[in-house]
Amino acid sequence: MVGFFLLLKARGVKVGDILLSIYATIGSFQTLKKVQKGSHIFNLNSISYRLGSFTRAAGCSSVLISDVRNYSLIKLSSGKRVIFPSTLVVNLGKVSNSFNRKVVLGKAGKSRLKGVRPTVRGLAMNPIDHPHGGGSGKGRHPVSIWGKLTKGKKTLHLKKLSLFVS
């Protein structure tokens, strides 16, 4: 029995195209070991042979920067660099439907009809409800739930990436 599963469509793939993992074509599945450096990939996952959880949005792609030993350094679409095992399965190319972000909903309440609930800014809340809330004026700089300033905090430790520096 042939299994049926849904795929994310890559830009340039048409209905009826055959995607084989043997050949490195746009939209096909490859392990990170077989992907060339500098190529665009999407549908990354954090665990081998599972459904992807990174770079799945319309028009996005990640770039394989380097491959050392059993690990690969990948630059995500957000600009963050992440290390993944080289045994992960990814799709080649970019996700299609890149004009999705240009869709105009057209009227007030249209996003509510799609199931998106309204969000309230922390600045508009009371101090008891949110760390940014309260006071008159523009509020304060972003803080953690303990009141420590979080603006401009470094999130990437370059010492951990020294393995991939060439």
Instruction: State residue 63's pLDDT score.
Output: 95
Write down the CATH number for the domain with range 119-166. 4.10.950.10
Cα distances from 36 to residues 5, 66, 92, 94, in angstroms, run: 26, 9, 10, 15
pLDDT the model gives residue 48: 60
- Two tokens, residue 134: 């309260």
pTM: 0.63
Q: Which helix (H) or strand (E) holds 67?
A: strand 62-68
In this structure, which amino acid lies at residue 18? I
- Return the pLDDT at 166: 46
Give the pLDDT of the chain (166 residues) as one tens digit per residue. Answer: 455 566 788 888 888 887 777 778 888 888 888 899 999 999 887 666 666 788 888 988 999 999 988 999 999 988 999 898 888 888 899 998 888 888 899 998 999 999 999 999 888 888 888 888 888 777 778 888 787 888 887 766 666 655 555 4
User: 117 in helix, strand or coil?
Assistant: coil
Which residues lie below 8 Å from residue 80, measured CB to CB, with a gap of 6+?
156
Residue matched to tokens 């042939």: 2
- The CATH architecture to which 1-99 belongs is Roll (2.30)
Residue boundaries of the structural domains of the chain: 1-99, 119-166
